[in-house]
A and B are shown apart, each in its own frame.
Chain A
Amino acid sequence: MSWRRKWRFLHVALLVVVLLTAGCGGAASNSQPEQQPAPAENGASTSAFPLTITDASGAEIHLEKAPERLVSLAPSNTENAFALGLGSKMVGVTDWDNYPEEVKEIEKIGGLEPNIEKILSLEPDLVIAHVSANNKSIQPLRDAGLKVLALPDSKNFNGVYEALRMLGKATGTLDKAEEVIQQMEQKKAAITAKVADLSEKEKVKVWVEVSPDLYTAGRGTFIDDLIRLAGGINVAAEEEGWVQLSEEQVIAAQPDVIITTYGGYETEKPSEQIRARKAWADLPAVKENRIYDLNSDLVSRPGPRLVEGLEQVAKCLYPERF
């Protein structure tokens, strides 16, 4: 098992070296701290089947031919699949799926705990799971005789690319995956370029409110990543993961901008709830009315729309630059 991984790594590394020396760095021109997406082995492989792929759960999945009936167990997986042009092959999605429009027409297989019977009845030849969100369901589904591809738990843009590549490989759409990744990278570079010249003084302090009891997004979350890329300073950057701060701390931090991500319903209007908090009235963000309700799917769902989330965050932070 481990020798196989090492072998693969060597393989990829070799390819990268070859490509770099051949001067095919391509779009790697402007400042990108993240590694340049390296074309995985079998770069031009729509016809690589049969193939065996090691997924994020460490399982080896053998596929005779490109799967034709797909079930997704997470909204991010669905968005990834649609981005790769696999929409017409989707036969089952979760109750939470809401993007793109077409998912409304697709059979629902349940929420966090998918309904195995329902999935079996759809006769998928590949179930696309999320390695941590669906960790309880993956084994039972495999025991039921289904092929389950567990996509990695993406923590940043590179993680999303990794998931797209894995899905692309398993479905024979790797070329498309590389294309989507290129587009995302370009858009991201265009956005970060607009905020690249901000001095430390010009950077705004951002309070992200994930729930009305003051949960926020610390280091290692997508939102934190997006804020940094968009040239902002996350008030909760010292904390790890999803954490709760106290009201006192938010006020002491004096944020310039407030972003909320829980306004799922029309009636909720988190920004109004925040404006009603008397103790918050003197915060720069409240005084200058810079409270924005963002769609949480855009800023927390590890899929191709993450770059749109970045754009929205950047617009909230520096409207004059966009």
Chain B
Amino acid sequence: MYKKWLILAWICGLAGVLLTSVVISVSIGSARLPVDVVWRILLLKAGLYPDTLADWPASAETIVWQVRLPRILLAMLVGAALAVAGVGFQAVLRNPLADPYILGVSSGAALGAAVVIVFGWQSLLGEWTIPAVAFSLGLLTLFLVYRLAMVERGVAMETLLLSGVVVQAFLGALLSFFLSISDDRMQQIIYWLMGSFALKDWVSSWVVLPFLMFGWLLLFALSNSLNILSLGEAQAAHLGVSVDRVRLLVLTASTLMTAAAVSVSGTIGFVGLVIPHMMRLLVGADHRILIPVSTLAGSILMVWADTAARMVFSPRELPVGVITALLGAPFFAYLLRRVRRQRG
């Protein structure tokens, strides 16, 4: 159905946009470093610039190499993870409102983070306390939701969605409870909920990367099955797709990606909902294309959202979740109207 060159054009085009976005993003920041210094530092790190010509203060190198770049890389990975997880959830649940958080992964993670902050347990595992607790509770929540939806004959998707709603409501109530007793820590929790890439180093990216790679490869490998699944469960079963197995694999892969992303960056909304829809409107519903294209688009949106979060009220930083919604929603609305009009 698709011409090969068109697919290639989409992927190359988006990759080009992503590269440009990174180039721009790394060049600007609240510490007003001259652009040429930024690039000479990067060349130095790449071994293409002689040490002897380094005429910038040591702090400039730290800012570019230890603050800006790790943050941009992490934004790319998290954006990609959320977008692809969104594709996975939407395909399996066959619900346009599905996003990576629909089965409560983020609620569990958020509750974990809130508890750690309220009780001041940040030093138990050092800087990794909140991510570790958030990740485990996120996974636990999905397990709980899945278990709750399970009946003898397996899991019906409507039941799964509803049990997700139930568990989320309960966790949400617990979260509100902890917020209400958090006194002066409330702001910290709310900031975590809205998501941020501030104060993240390279390690955060190395933590997210394996989950992203594993989940991504699994979903991509299953993209044919996902295509068939979108015809309907009965048809898919007739065509020899083991529906239950595919669903479980996709849910697990998507959840792992989501939990890893959320645990390091907080619950950044909207990307996982909107990017898959947007890309489906642009390139169609074939998962073999949809998955790579959504990966790139998620990264692009997140890099820009984080750049805006850093720059709009500089030196103050906005929570990146605010920006993703502010950028994503209007663009999505525009796209929706345009495409519907063309087709209608």
Query: Contact residues of A with B, CB < 8 Å?
Result: 96, 111-112, 211-215, 239, 243-249, 251-252, 254, 264-269, 272-273, 276-279, 282
Contact = CB atoms under 8 A, between A and B. Distances in A.
Q: Pick the 6 closest A-B CB pairs, nearest first.
A: A265-B120, A279-B66, A248-B31, A252-B31, A246-B30, A268-B120
Given A211-B188, A276-B126, A251 B198 contact: no
Given A246-B29, A249-B31, A273-B127, A268 B62 contact: no
A211 B126 CA distance: 16
Given A214-B199, A277-B199, A272 B29 contact: no
A264 B67 contact: no
A244 B120 contact: no
B59 interface: yes
Nearest to A246: B30
A251 B198 CA distance: 13
Contacts of B317: 213-214, 244, 246
5 contacts: A214-B198, A215-B187, A246-B314, A247-B198, A279-B70
Contact of A251 (B31, B127, B183, B316): B31
Interface in B54-109: 58-60, 62-63, 66-68, 70
B123 interface: yes
Q: Give the most central of B68, B199, B316: most A CB within 10 Å.
A: B199
B122 A278 contact: no
B79 to A, nearest CB: 20
B198 to A, nearest CB: 6
Interface string B307-344: 00010001111000000000000000000000000000
Contact of B58 (A213, A266, A276, A282): A282
Interface residues of B, number: 36
A246 B198 contact: yes
A277 B31 contact: no
Interface of B: 29-31, 58-60, 62-63, 66-68, 70, 119-124, 126-127, 183-184, 187-188, 191, 196, 198-199, 201-203, 310, 314-317
B183 A282 contact: no
A210 to B, nearest CB: 10
Given A213-B188, A248-B29, A265-B119, A279 B315 contact: no
Q: Give the most central of A215, A247, A276, A277: most B CB within 10 Å.
A: A247
Contacts of A251: 31, 59, 62-63, 67
B31 A282 contact: no
A279 B62 contact: yes
Nearest to B188: A211
Contact of A252 (B63, B124, B187): B63
Contacts of A265: 119-121
Contacts of B191: 213
Contact of B122 (A268, A277, A279): A268
A243 B30 CA distance: 14
Given A249-B30, A282-B58, A244 B316 contact: yes
Contacts of A243: 315-316
Given A213-B191, A215-B187, A279-B66, 5 more contacts: A213-B317, A246-B30, A249-B31, A265-B121, A267-B122
A248 B30 contact: yes
A212 B188 contact: yes
B171 to A, nearest CB: 23
B315 A245 contact: yes
Contacts of A279: 62-63, 66-67, 70, 201
A213 B60 CA distance: 21
A112 B180 CA distance: 11
A81 B264 CA distance: 45
B123 A272 contact: yes
Contacts of B58: 282
Nearest to A254: B59
Contacts of A272: 123, 126
A276 B62 contact: no
Given A211-B188, A248-B30, A278-B66, A111 B183 contact: yes
A243 to B, nearest CB: 6
B196 to A, nearest CB: 7
B63 A248 contact: yes
A213 B198 CA distance: 8
